[in-house]
Amino acid sequence: MSLLPNEVKTENIANSAVTTPKIGDEQVTSAKIKNSAVTTDKLATGAVTGSKIGDGQIYGSKLRDGAVRSEKIASGAVTSAKIGEAQVIGSRIKDNSITNEKIARNAVTTDKIVNGSVTPAKLSFTPPSAVRPITPPVTTDEIAGGAVSAEKLATNAVTTEKIANGAVTPEKLSGGFVKYVPRAVATWDKTRMNFEFDGVLHEDGMDLSAIVPAGAIATHLIIEVSGPQGEAFQIYANQGAKICNSFIGFIQGMGGGLGRVHCVIYNDPDRLFDYLLTPGIGDVVVAVAGWYV
């Protein structure tokens, strides 16, 4: 029996009469599928490919826990903003992966440095005026001989206990201190010079340069004089105009006799002294007891 086009109506088709073999390939269009009619079990495994998923359609709630594996994350895709606070712990960081340029300025604070890890080889700086404590401290063996110069010492850094006994010599003193040096002689050393007892000032008449060392600032003399009462003897630093720097003595006692006196006279650099003795002086003996430096 021949059927005219469009003669078979919906009511002429028995329920379930249109089976799969009766439907031509690619004949079921999108418009023929009821909304929400394609359920999960109607989709073949692997049937939903990337091209079938709209952009931005896969969001957080559609991802299974642990579904995004490392190989699915593009290189550089995990930025700082994507990492929660305190989520990166030591065990998650690859050894030697944090390079110098990845560390922010002033990021390494004292509590981030392991005790003993800052060695002398890691220090590269011009020391400040006052050397600050370093942990561990720089030991004696780490300091080159002669490396600590005067400008490296802080003001008042050298205290009394840091100075060895006897280390401060007269040459190291700058004003305000004088040291007496007694003359080291085994026996009393009296010197009788060729004095002139004529009442005339003899410039450079007493030469002590062979006894008193250069640089001594004053000489301690012991003078013995014999003669009649009232006679005078005078000794000056050379050049008699320095009358304030002199010693003038008179023989005391009825009838004269022997007298011994001590005096200190400041030196000129040549250790030459002027003298004046009155004609009545009987004898004069001079001994150098010591000097001041």
- In tens, the pLDDT along 187-231 reads 666 666 788 889 898 988 889 999 999 999 999 998 888 877 778
- The verdict on residue 247 lying in a domain is yes
Residue whose C-alpha is closest to residue 287's, from 192, 210, 214, 202:
192
Domain end marker among 5, 24, 42: 42
Q: Which of 161-175, 214-228, 268-282 has the lowest mean pLDDT?
A: 161-175
CA distance 267 to 292: 10
User: What is the total count of domains within the chain?
Assistant: 2
- The verdict on residue 30 lying in a domain is yes
Rg value, the chain, Cα = 57
Do 182 and 289 touch, CB atoms closer than 8 A? yes
Q: Which of 72-76, 92-96, 216-220 has the lowest mean pLDDT?
A: 92-96
Domain that residue 255 falls in: 202-292
Task: Tell me the pTM.
Answer: 0.41
- The verdict on residue 245 lying in a domain is yes
Do 176 and 281 touch, CB atoms closer than 8 A? no
**Residue 276 burial (CB count, 10 A):** 21
- The verdict on residue 184 lying in a domain is no
**Residue 228 burial (CB count, 10 A):** 14
- The verdict on residue 84 lying in a domain is no
Kindly state the tokens that stand for 85. 């606070």
CA distance 85 to 87: 5
Q: Is the pLDDT of residue 41 over 80?
A: yes
